[in-house]
Amino acid sequence: MAAYPPALLRLITNLSRLPGVGEKTATRLALQILRWPREEAVELARSIASLHEKVCLCSHCLNFAETDPCPICADQSRRSDQLCVVEDPAALMAVEKSGVFRGRYHVLHGLLSPRDGIGPQELRIKELLSRIPKEGIREIILALSPTAPGEATAAYLRDVLNRSGVRVSRIACGVPMGMEIKYVDEMTLRLAIEGRRDLSA
Amino acid sequence: MAAYPPALLRLITNLSRLPGVGEKTATRLALQILRWPREEAVELARSIASLHEKVCLCSHCLNFAETDPCPICADQSRRSDQLCVVEDPAALMAVEKSGVFRGRYHVLHGLLSPRDGIGPQELRIKELLSRIPKEGIREIILALSPTAPGEATAAYLRDVLNRSGVRVSRIACGVPMGMEIKYVDEMTLRLAIEGRRDLSA
């Protein structure tokens, strides 16, 4: 029985290591790259190869950046006493895109998940605690997903941070914009009702 | 508002050009590559860069290969008078994996799709026709998907090939293995009944 050429199999194997990419998807992607003009494939290869050279972690917020401190931590117009704690750089970007938060961030690079062997030591919690006295942090907003690992992480951080005397809050859980109430699961709806905002004058 | 670092954005842009990969998926993949050990990212980059150097089209069947002729066309134990016409290398691999076909292949590199501006000139039909006298082809099996473009291509090739005097057949459409009859759409079932095989002794 025939097989794909070795160079193609090598790429399929490498692409299969990406999250959510199985052998079938990897094969489809590899065959597509083979159809591209050669210079576009080379450009993709270069952008992957140069990624680790150029991108580092900001030593303050631990977000991916090409400078240290990153543009957000270096921005003097942002509040320096307020930290928003996020799971990863993608969550940071989502909060940043909302445009409502004008303090600084702290990236945990993960969530607690005992099942996967991820305990507090695996997250950047030590770094978070050391920032509180060093940067004079007064409020920490936990922008963690309302999922099992997000809940566990928020509960753990609440306990740890309360001991440090800093004010701790967590972003609201509720019905997302544009979603019809009848399609919302009961747990979300319960939290949305419990977290109702007073509109009385 | 902050953005991802330029090196990350460059990779996200490049990955977004892959089929089925939108900006969100590209971002997820790029962030994952950034989490990999550097040498694994470099290996992925190298496998992409070397793809076009190493892989060419077999001048006989037009399949992707690292040699010309490809291993299948060079295999003297395979029938040389029988061609299986497929849409692309992935379809060829599927037929080959079935293990039942022992002739040679011809890859069209697409299917007719007037809506997308793909006419007979865009497919490798001229090359197919020239192989018939040159290689003494006696039978051509159309292994084309039972989709609208597959039907159109099969109908077109049937007309063209019938004029060349070669025997033309098309693989059967029917109920797939393991599928319950009650879940099969009516068009498939109709074709399966029309194409029923005689089991009488």
The region of weakest confidence among A25-34, A87-96, A188-197, B10-19 is: A188-197
Is the CB of residue A53 less than 8 Å from the CB of residue A66?
Answer: no
Reported as a single tens digit per residue, the pLDDT across B82-102 is 999 999 998 898 888 888 888
Question: In B, residues 136-155, which contact A (CB 8 Å cutoff)?
Answer: none
One domain, residues B75 and B164: yes
In a domain, A178, yes or no: no
In a domain, A189, yes or no: no
Q: Which of B5, B44, B50 sits opposite A48 (nearest CB)?
A: B44
In a domain, A97, yes or no: yes
pLDDT score, position A94: 83
Residues of B in contact with A49 (CB under 8 A): 41-42, 45-46
Res A57 pLDDT > 90 = yes
Domain that holds residue B104: 56-170
Inter-chain residue contact A48 with B41, CB threshold 8 Å: yes
Which residue of chain A is at minimal alpha-carbon distance from B14?
A44
- At A2, is the pLDDT very low, low, confident or very high (cuts 50, 70, 90)? low
For residue A190, CA distances in Å to A56, A174, A181, A182, A195 come to 41, 8, 12, 13, 8
In a domain, A164, yes or no: yes
Asked if A7 reaches chain B (Cβ–Cβ under 8 Å), the answer is yes
One domain, residues B70 and B140: yes
Res A153 pLDDT > 90 = yes
In a domain, A179, yes or no: no
Inter-chain residue contact B11 with A48, CB threshold 8 Å: yes
CATH of the domain at A156: 3.40.1360.10
CATH of the domain at B11: 1.10.8.420
Inter-chain residue contact B2 with A72, CB threshold 8 Å: yes
Q: What is d(CA A136, CA A166) in angstroms, rounded to the nearest whole number? A: 10
Reported as a single tens digit per residue, the pLDDT across B106-163 is 999 999 998 999 999 999 999 999 999 999 999 999 888 888 898 899 999 999 998 8
One domain, residues B67 and B117: yes
pLDDT score, position A175: 78
One domain, residues B28 and B61: no
One domain, residues B71 and B12: no
Inter-chain residue contact B47 with A14, CB threshold 8 Å: yes
The percent helix, strand, coil of chain B (3-state, each to 5) is: 50, 10, 40
Enumerate the β-bridge partners of residue A104.
Answer: A83
For residue A98, CA distances in Å to A95, A122, A156 come to 5, 28, 26
pLDDT score, position B199: 57
Q: What is d(CA B139, CA B151) in angstroms, rounded to the nearest whole number? A: 19
One domain, residues B66 and B137: yes
Q: What is d(CA B63, CA B107) in angstroms, rounded to the nearest whole number? A: 6
The region of weakest confidence among A8-12, A130-134, A137-141, A191-195 is: A191-195
Residues of B in contact with A60 (CB under 8 A): none
One domain, residues B63 and B160: yes
Asked if A26 reaches chain B (Cβ–Cβ under 8 Å), the answer is no
In a domain, B186, yes or no: no
- At A199, is the pLDDT very low, low, confident or very high (cuts 50, 70, 90)? low
pLDDT score, position A174: 81
ipTM beyond 0.95? no
Res A195 pLDDT > 80 = no
Q: Which of A29, A45, A66 sits opposite B7 (nearest CB)?
A: A66
Which residue of chain A is at minimal alpha-carbon distance from B11?
A47
- If one compares A191 and B151, the residue with the highest pLDDT of the two is B151
Asked if B7 reaches chain A (Cβ–Cβ under 8 Å), the answer is yes
Q: Compute the count of residue pairs across chains A and B with CB atoms less than 8 Å apart.
A: 157
Range from A115-129, A136-150, B149-163 that averages highest in pLDDT: A115-129
One domain, residues A155 and A116: yes
In a domain, B111, yes or no: yes
Enumerate the β-bridge partners of residue B167.
Answer: B139
Residues of B in contact with A7 (CB under 8 A): 47, 50-51, 53-55, 66
- At B104, is the pLDDT very low, low, confident or very high (cuts 50, 70, 90)? very high
Q: Which of B1, B55, B65 sits opposite A97 (nearest CB)?
A: B1
Domain count, chain A: 2
pLDDT score, position A124: 97
Q: How far is A28 from chain B (nearest CA, A)?
A: 8
Q: Which of B33, B52, B53 sits opposite A48 (nearest CB)?
A: B33
Which residue of chain A is at minimal alpha-carbon distance from B5?
A65
Res A1 pLDDT > 60 = no
Res A201 pLDDT > 60 = no
Residues of B in contact with A8 (CB under 8 A): 51, 55, 64
One domain, residues B18 and B75: no
Reported as a single tens digit per residue, the pLDDT across B5-40 is 999 999 999 999 999 999 999 999 999 999 999 999
Res B183 pLDDT > 80 = no
In a domain, B36, yes or no: yes
One domain, residues A85 and A165: yes
Asked if A57 reaches chain B (Cβ–Cβ under 8 Å), the answer is no
Residues of B in contact with A43 (CB under 8 A): 14
Reported as a single tens digit per residue, the pLDDT across A31-50 is 999 999 999 999 999 999 99
- If one compares B136 and A171, the residue with the highest pLDDT of the two is B136
Q: What is d(CA B180, CA B130) in angstroms, rounded to the nearest whole number? A: 43
Asked if A172 reaches chain B (Cβ–Cβ under 8 Å), the answer is no
- At A198, is the pLDDT very low, low, confident or very high (cuts 50, 70, 90)? low
Res B2 pLDDT > 70 = no
pLDDT score, position A50: 93
One domain, residues B94 and B71: yes
- At B46, is the pLDDT very low, low, confident or very high (cuts 50, 70, 90)? very high
Query: Helix H segments across chain B?
Result: 6-15, 23-35, 38-49, 51-54, 71-74, 89-98, 125-135, 148-163, 186-194
pLDDT score, position B185: 80
Share of chain A above pLDDT 70, in %: 96
One domain, residues B19 and B75: no
State whether the Cα torsion A28-A31-A33-A35 is positive or negative: negative
Residues of B in contact with A46 (CB under 8 A): 45, 49
